[in-house]
Amino acid sequence: MNNRTLFYKLGMVVILASALQGCKPTILPDDNNEVISKPYSMYAALQSGMIYNTNDGYSYKNVKGPDDIPVIGMVASGNNLIYCQNGVHTIKFSVGGTPNTALVQRDRPSDGNTMFLNWPKYNRLYFAGSTFASSNPMCYSNSHGDNDSLWFPDNGFAEGVDVGSVKITSFTMLNDGFAVAFDEASKTVYLTDNPVSSRWAPGTAISSSSPSLHYFVSHLANTILVIADTSDIFYSANHGGSWQQFTGIPAGTANLCAVAPFDQCILVGTNHGIYRLTVGQTNFVAANAGLPSNAIVRSLVAKYDYYKSGTSANYVYAATDKGLYKSFNNGDNWTKVSDWDFSTLY
């Protein structure tokens, strides 16, 4: 019996309502530097469509069984886990963890978790899908993506913007509270710090002769990153007012995902491993110590444990076609923690 079948039979049916909160803290009697008062919770999806929950990368609880459709993006909102397999589905933990049918669709194969933006301050969960394409560039749920609720279009763009020509494909949230929505067609970012009372204002379009067909947006603190599916990565430190370009990722490489763990560096996952850029530098270097050769890195996520003493331990996870890898030093080197062919992490 293979691992997928075994885990499916053992745990597919029941998930407790507390799953989004993770396991209870590990309580050790004396040393407060070892007492975890705030453990992280991570969701890991496989190419088979299975979704697991883990608090350490080593032990797993089943969330969703396999259906041979890769999960290409996930986000948590309220007590729900929302994931995308072409269409968006919701697992509502308070009623037993059964996925609902897709209410909005995705006409792109990936972009990972950047297709979602959870904005609790304004009770909005954004999705860059195709249901509202052309006349409505993006949509949002004001009920955490519940399966009995509607998704609404957001046409709140600045005066002069031709809304019909905008199609948002990805999102990110800057540290200063500005949300960023990226229009791939015009290579333009739109920003707002209040989607209820302020309009999405455009930055300056990226000027590039890159052969890239697809891009996704990410960030480092308040620096916007626009990452191409080639080796190109653009950045703006002034809300998209002007753009520069990072170097170092070899030509012929396809960028697949990115994370800026704890604002200390930028890690980019590619079809040939991971590249790292430290703050203050403009040139990426390979960061593959401990990874198998030419690993396809589909998703990266940063997590931390918070201890009773007030200290914390930081980790970065990499989902690859050759297993799940964990870094204890922001990507300097990696340790394998699980097998399987992973698709995305949250």
DSSP 3: H
pTM of the predicted model, to two decimals?
0.86
pLDDT over threshold 70, residue 34: no
207-to-186, 242, 264 alpha-carbon distances in Å: 10, 10, 28
Q: Are 88 and 116 in contact (CB under 8 A)?
A: no
Count of C-beta atoms within a 10 Å radius of residue 312? 13
| CB-count exposure of residue 112 (10 Å: 0-12, 13-18, 19+) | buried
Please answer whether residues 60 and 44 qualify as being in contact, where contact means their C-beta atoms are separated by less than 8 angstroms: yes
Is the model more confident about 118 or about 27? 118
Confidence of residue 325 (pLDDT cuts 50, 70, 90): very high
Q: Where are the domains of the chain?
A: 70-216
User: Minimal CA–CA distance to 314: which of 326, 305, 325?
Assistant: 305
Please report, rounded to a whole number, the percentage of residues in the chain having pLDDT higher than 70.
83
pLDDT 10s digits, 133-166: 456 688 899 999 987 788 888 989 999 999 888 8
Distance CA 201, CA 199 (A): 6
CA-to-CA distance for 126 and 171, rounded, in angstroms?
Answer: 8
For the stretch 226-253, pLDDT in tens is 999 999 999 999 999 999 999 999 999 9
Q: Give the C-alpha distances (Å, rounded to integers) separating 169 from 73, 186, 257, 279.
A: 13, 11, 14, 27
What is the per-residue pLDDT for 103?
62
